[in-house]
Amino acid sequence: MDTLPLAVSGGDAGPLTPAELRELYTLMVAVRHLDTSAIAWQRQGIIPGYAPELGQEAAQVGSGYAVDTTRDFVFPTYREMGVARTMGVDMVGYMSTHKATWHGGLYNPLESRLAPIQAVVAGSVLHAVGWAHGQTLENSDGGTTGVALTYFGDGASSQGDVHEALNFAAVMKAPVVFFVQNNGWAISVPTERQVAGGSVAARAAGYGMPALQIDGDDVVAVVEATRRAFAHARAGNGPVLIEAMTYRRGPHSTSDDPGRYRSLDEERDGAGEDPLERLRKRLLADGIADEAFFAEALAAAKAEEEHIRNGIQALGSRPGTEMFDLVFQETTPALQAQAANWREESEHV
Amino acid sequence: MSNPTIESRTSPAATAPAATTVMSMQQALNRALDEVLADNPKAVIFGEDCGRLGGVFRITDGLQAKHGEQRVFDTPLAESGILGMSVGLAMAGFHPIPEVQFDGFAYPAINQIVCQIARMNYRSRGTLPMPITLRVPSFGGIRAPEHHGESLEALFAHVPGLKVVSPSTPHEAYHLLKYAATRPDPVIFMEPKSRYWQKGEVDPATHDADGGSPTGAKVMREGRHLTLVAWGAMVARCLQVAELAAEDGIDIEVLDLRWLKPIDAAALAASVRKTRRAVVVHEAPLTSGLGAEVAQLITQSCFDTLRAPVERVTGFDVPYPSGDLEDEYIPNIDRILFGIQRVLEYKRG
Ligand SMILES: Cc1ncc(C[n+]2csc(CCOP(=O)(O)OP(=O)(O)O)c2C)c(N)n1
């Protein structure tokens, strides 16, 4: 594809070390296990809904791995559990949004560097541009710049906001990495019925923005591409778009029935090789890890899942007063009156 | 409702009206759309996932297979695009029946709805009518994620040039949708999603057996002591409340407003002049909600007969909360009973 190349810039960390590769595997197993478990939780009635990411582990773990949580900021959608886990976000707080405890999740966005979970498709892509431009404003004297990493899907790329964001970022040379997970589907609509012109990456050229279309199921390729894009943006060269080609293997959400729009054969053909299996083979072939290591990673993932499940089961509901207390920083008399009424009528006093 | 100048383009349903049958609201809406497509060759249905999948709520289930991909089609994921395109289709002589997948995703289309659809007839001095029926799965009650349960009626009703209607039962859904989809003006059709799977009797032959107007409000239960005014999902809840109150000898009338714009002021007046007391119930926030409009219409026509100020039992001025707090937010039976009590016990100062 004919896209603008990345500016050559320093800061590339070089090839991944064996320790890093093992860490990536551990993260991917944790994410895979938690993801599959969350679907089971929904079936068991522990949570009302969930947006699975089966098959997207490499895209999520790989891109999240490039984030420097001391200075970067990430803007997720509703499907970035793997990114959150990779960044070290409190996973009980993260899952609480799927538990229907609190919209956006109960983790602290400022501390974790992960914006609240976003249910509006493309809802936070422009926010990323704004945050990134803030970095430019603050670092006009040449300090080191934080980079905004924003996630969206092939479906979301149809939203006008995405086009506005790409244009803004390019015009303002904002340090943003637009990370598109092209998982082949927007609920029932396949990419070819969603994205004109064949790819999202191809559009970037129209905004004068470099773009990388990568194998999103190869975690090593994802880490390397994301690191390059970060280095480019951090050095003041403006935004980069990465389109990670991957496949959503399961349903869109726990209330979706993919059998209505694709056959199991189509699913098998589209999905290609399991990204987790791919990394495993690579580690074995390179002699970086052995069966004992894989078993240990799985055991750790299971223990972690149990801990998170216990955590969300123990969560309970938030007190109803928070419904009123958290609308504003400075509340209003009308809201206070409604809260008082509510307390009285719900016998919560 | 002012009677439109352009009459329905076509004759009655191509499908011969069958006898009364029991069906869910989802089935009733599906059937209405099927008949609209059969009757009006210019009717087209489109939106996100409404083709092959049949919509996430299956309202358009089977319609693409039956009527073809020209008449029922999936669009890219862009609400502004869907509604903006409706304008051009209407200008080309079509009768667009677009869908936004969930209420909260009407917001990205607000610009096209408010600045364009609502004004085109006016702007063009009546030469460019906008026969657009926008179906919006609406209101809460299903523990959905953020933006998947909102009450936008006041917002839409406030916009000059839009009409707003909401059905409360399968029968109403069938007839109101068939009616709305043959009008020459833009109608926002708010489907109470928590009622989609509730069954009820549908008489396809007549909408209002007692000869009432399809544009009017409808008395769903007669009573002498007080009128509960509601629409959408709240009608069923008010009927429940009326049953409970009857056990205490309080005889409540339940008025289904049906049209939220224009409001049937005559029906309101007739009911409240009889009962002399009224409570409006809605899920939307209190401040600047439709309850205020209804209360004012009642005050204006019934000031001399009213025994107490009109009460409102509503949602609160808070963002629609997460599933765990939903029952605290949506008017429940107790809160409606408190509202009734406030009116019944009102003493003039
Ligand atoms: C503005 C908006 N419109 C509609 C929806 C409903 N919806 C949720 S996810 C989705 C498909 C998104 O597809 P894509 O962007 O490709 O991301 P994916 O879910 O495949 O990760 C739709 C239509 C939404 N959340 N936001």
Could you report the per-residue pLDDT of B222-246, keeping only the tens digit for each?
Answer: 999 999 999 999 999 999 999 999 9
Catalytic residue chosen out of the listed positions A85, A252, A278, A280: A252
- Which residue from B286, B292, B169 is spatially nearest to B236, judged by alpha carbons? B169
Length, in residues, of chain B: 349
Give the integer Cα–Cα distance in Å for A326 and A345: 20
Structure confidence at residue B7 (pLDDT):
38
Is residue B346 classed as helix, strand or coil in its secondary structure? coil
Give the integer Cα–Cα distance in Å for A194 and A198: 9
DSSP code of B148?
Answer: S
* CB A67 near ligand 1, within 6 Å: no
Contact assessment for residue B182 and residue B8, using Cβ atoms and an 8 Å cutoff: yes
- Using pLDDT thresholds of 50, 70 and 90, give the confidence band for residue A140: confident
Q: How far from A74 is each of A139, A156, A177, CA to CA, in Å?
A: 19, 17, 10
DSSP, residue by residue, B163-207: EEE---SHHHHHHHHHHHTT-SS-EEEEEEGGGTT-EEEE-SS-S
DSSP, residue by residue, A313-345: HTT-PPPTHHHHHTS-SS--HHHHHHHHHHHHH
- Using pLDDT thresholds of 50, 70 and 90, give the confidence band for residue B152: very high
Q: How far apart are the first and last CA of chain B?
A: 38
Tens digits of residue pLDDT in A114-127:
999 999 999 999 99
Token pair 């934080």: residue:
A146
Give the integer Cα–Cα distance in Å for B126 and A49: 47
Atom of ligand 1 nearest to the CA of A77: 21
- Using pLDDT thresholds of 50, 70 and 90, give the confidence band for residue A5: confident
* CB A248 near ligand 1, within 6 Å: yes
Residue B311 pairs in a beta bridge with B279
Nearest-CA distance from A93 to chain B in Å?
A: 14
Nearest CB among A49, A161, A338 relative to B317 is that of A338
Residue of B nearest to A316 (CA): B324
Cβ of B299: how many Cβ atoms within 10 Å?
Answer: 14
Active-site annotation holds for A248: yes
- Which residue from B275, B271, B278, B273 is spatially nearest to B293, judged by alpha carbons? B278
Listed in sequence order, the residues at least 6 apart from A226 whose beta carbon sits closer than 8 Å to its beta carbon are A62, A63, A65, A66, A149, A177, A179, A242
Which residues of B are the active-site residues? 148
Residue of B nearest to A188 (CA): B49
Atom of ligand 1 nearest to the CA of A194: 16
Residues on A contacting B at a C-beta cutoff of 8 Å: 48-49, 78, 97, 99-104, 119-121, 155-156, 158-161, 186-189, 193-195, 255-256, 260-261, 317-318, 320, 323-324, 327, 332, 334-335, 338-339, 342, 345-346
Catalytic residue chosen out of the listed positions A33, A98, A133, A248: A248
Over residues B146-170, mean pLDDT: 98
Asked whether residue B2 carries a pLDDT value surpassing 50, the answer given is no
Tens digits of residue pLDDT in B84-123:
999 999 999 999 999 999 999 999 999 999 999 999 999 9
Structure confidence at residue B3 (pLDDT):
37
Question: Which stretches of chain B are DSSP H helices?
Answer: 25-39, 63-67, 79-91, 110, 120-123, 153-157, 170-180, 233-247, 265-275, 290-302, 323-329, 333-344
Tens digits of residue pLDDT in B266-284:
999 999 999 999 999 999 9
Question: In A148-306, which ranges are E strands?
Answer: 148-153, 176-182, 185-186, 189-190, 211-215, 240-245
Give the integer Cα–Cα distance in Å for B339 and B278: 9
Contact assessment for residue B257 and residue B289, using Cβ atoms and an 8 Å cutoff: no
pTM beyond cutoff 0.90: yes
**Crossing angle (nearest 10°) for helices A275-285 and A18-43:** 150
Token pair 């209420």: residue:
B103
Q: Whose CA is nearest to atom 17 of ligand 1?
A: A153
Angle ∠(B162,B284,A156) on CA atoms, nearest 5: 70
Is residue A30 classed as helix, strand or coil in its secondary structure? helix
Asked whether residue B43 carries a pLDDT value surpassing 90, the answer given is yes
Residue B348 one-letter amino acid: R
Token pair 């409340």: residue:
B241
Structure confidence at residue B17 (pLDDT):
55
Asked whether residue B211 carries a pLDDT value surpassing 90, the answer given is no
Give the integer Cα–Cα distance in Å for B336 and A156: 41
Contact A342 B323 (CB under 8 A): no
Angle ∠(A24,A27,A31) on CA atoms, nearest 5: 140
**Hey, what are B123's tokens?**
């702007």
Gyration radius from chain B CA atoms:
20
* CB B103 near ligand 1, within 6 Å: no
CA of A129 to the centre of ligand 1 (A): 20
ipTM for the complex shown: 0.92
* CB A120 near ligand 1, within 6 Å: yes
Structure confidence at residue B16 (pLDDT):
54
Residues of A159-195 as b/e, b for ≥16 C-beta within 10 angstroms? Answer: bebbbebbebbbebbbbbbbbbbbbbbbbbbbbebbb
Residue B98 pairs in a beta bridge with B46
Asked whether residue B134 carries a pLDDT value surpassing 80, the answer given is yes
- Using pLDDT thresholds of 50, 70 and 90, give the confidence band for residue A177: very high
